[in-house]
Amino acid sequence: MPSKSSKILFREASRYIPGGVNSPVRAFRSVDSTPIFIERAAGSRIYDVEGREYVDYVSSWGPMILGHSHPAVVRAIQKAAARGTSYGAPTELETEMAKLIVDAFPSMDMVRMVSSGTEAAMTAIRLARGYTGREKIIKFEGCYHGHADSLLVKVGSGVATLGIPGSPGVPRSLAELTITLPYNDIEAVVSAVEQHKDGLACVIVEPVAGNMGVVPPRKGFLETLRKITRRHGILLIFDEVITGFRLTYGGFQNISGIEPDLTCLGKIIGGGLPVGAFGGKKAIMEKLAPSGPVYQAGTLSGNPVAMSAGLATLNILKKNAKAYLRLDRRTVLLCDELQRLFDHKKIPVRINRCGSMFTLFFTKDDVFDFTSAAKSDTSLYAHYFRKMLANKIYLAPSQFEAAFLSFAHRDEDIEKTLHACEKAIRTLAKIS
Ligand code: KE4
């Protein structure tokens, strides 16, 4: 019996699941297409239900830095599952994970495991509010920290992709406590903190933004955030859900030397299973229940199977910390060659990269915040996406997302990608 086509599966899914997907960006709406349904994945490749093989740059939105179905990770999951999938009671695995994370992040004394990046960011905000006794927060336009109410204000990722300003359902009284500033805008930060300082609990930021497409911090931006928040007793939260263990064995904070008060993690630390975490200094973290009054809980927090997948992943990364350099070099090579191909055809694109995460923006100008990112030609991006997909290269179905290389990507994957890009550009040249 031939397997059902993606189109038929999408039609069926749409009958039972809103928009046919369990996360909006997967619906391919912003690239004027319908999603391919996945059968399996291995290494740098992903396979749809019709047997087509693609070079994968979505990487499950970041977690699959080792590549898909890494044997050691699969074995760890199988072994853990055979001992039971969830106990709702503490295991040594959670202490091992906490120790590994604390050892990798000098800014952390303690860490709490949760089941998603959203939970991590949502709880870090609550902890900051509980610790400081203040209510207002600052976030940055185009940054995405998950879908908790306080954070769904002028966000990136799926919200920017769908072009919706924020989200209905977020009470005005709550949204009013969230001050949103342009990313990389030091003056805006200084004036907002001056205006709100006594009411500000925290500033939350993606130290390298990934959710408006990749936008690295400009010199002085994070330094200013650290100085001005410390001066006024405001907590600085680095949302390293994407950048955690992506750019180095640790976070962007290990590279920049700028230590936040709290850090959010997710994606890679779960090795592809549902995991999030947040951590910081003991004085702050011990305010969390049951040691303190700030409440947070989770049925599957620290789940043994998810911990096993995450530990297998992090232990491989720890043993191969130097491999990050090779991964970055391969990403630089790919980005330089992509830029050369577009320049040759005189199609203006900007490629922002940090480590092994990058975004190709269809714009001639520098992209340094959401306003400049939003100037990209998203219909050209959609056309490029569809042509690359037709040539078996699976990119993020949105201009406002990051592409990721994994340790499983080989020279052959890069060659296939550049060849597909050459073919895609020929059709782009006609419409751009
Ligand atoms: P989750 O709740 O999706 O695990 O994590 C939320 C989150 C928090 N912080 C950052 C910096 C994030 O990038 C995310 C989630 N990232 C998006 C893609 N950029 C997840 C993909 C999706 O929403 O389907």
**Ligand 1 pocket, residue 303 CB under 6 Å:** no
> What SS3 string covers the chain?
CCCCCHHHHHHHHHHHCHHHCCCHHHHCHHHCCCCCCEEEEEECEEEECCCCEEEECCHHHCCCCCCECCHHHHHHHHHHHHCCCCCCCCCHHHHHHHHHHHHHCCCCCEEEEECCHHHHHHHHHHHHHHHHCCCEEEEECCCCCCCCHHHCCCCCHHHHHCCCCCCCCCCHHHHCCEEEECCCCHHHHHHHHHHHHHHEEEEEECCCECECECECCCCCHHHHHHHHHHHCCCEEEEECCCCCCCCCCCCHHHHHCCCCCEEEEEHHHHCCCCCEEEEECHHHHCCECCCCCECCCCCCCCCHHHHHHHHHHHHHHHHCCCHHHHHHHHHHHHHHHHHHHHHHCCCCCEEEEECCEEEEECCCCCCCCHHHHCCCCHHHHHHHHHHHHHCCEECCCCCCCCEECCCCCCHHHHHHHHHHHHHHHHHHHHHC
**The predicted structure's pLDDT at residue 322:** 87
Residue range 6-69+322-431 in CATH 3.90.1150.10: yes
**Ligand 1 pocket, residue 116 CB under 6 Å:** yes
**The predicted structure's pLDDT at residue 167:** 79
- Which residues in the chain show pLDDT less than 50? none
The answer to whether 239 is a known catalytic residue is: yes
Sketch the domain layout of the chain as residue ranges. Answer: 6-69+322-431, 71-319
**The predicted structure's pLDDT at residue 408:** 98
Q: What is the CATH number of domain 71-319?
A: 3.40.640.10
Ligand 1 center–CA 219 separation, angstroms: 25
**The predicted structure's pLDDT at residue 157:** 78
**The predicted structure's pLDDT at residue 165:** 58
Question: pLDDT tens across 9-44, in order?
Answer: 999 999 999 999 999 999 999 999 999 999 999 999
Question: pLDDT tens across 129-146, in order?
Answer: 999 999 999 999 999 999
**Ligand 1 pocket, residue 22 CB under 6 Å:** no
**The predicted structure's pLDDT at residue 79:** 98
**The predicted structure's pLDDT at residue 147:** 95
Ligand 1 center–CA 37 separation, angstroms: 20
- Minimal-distance CA residue to ligand 1 atom 24: 23
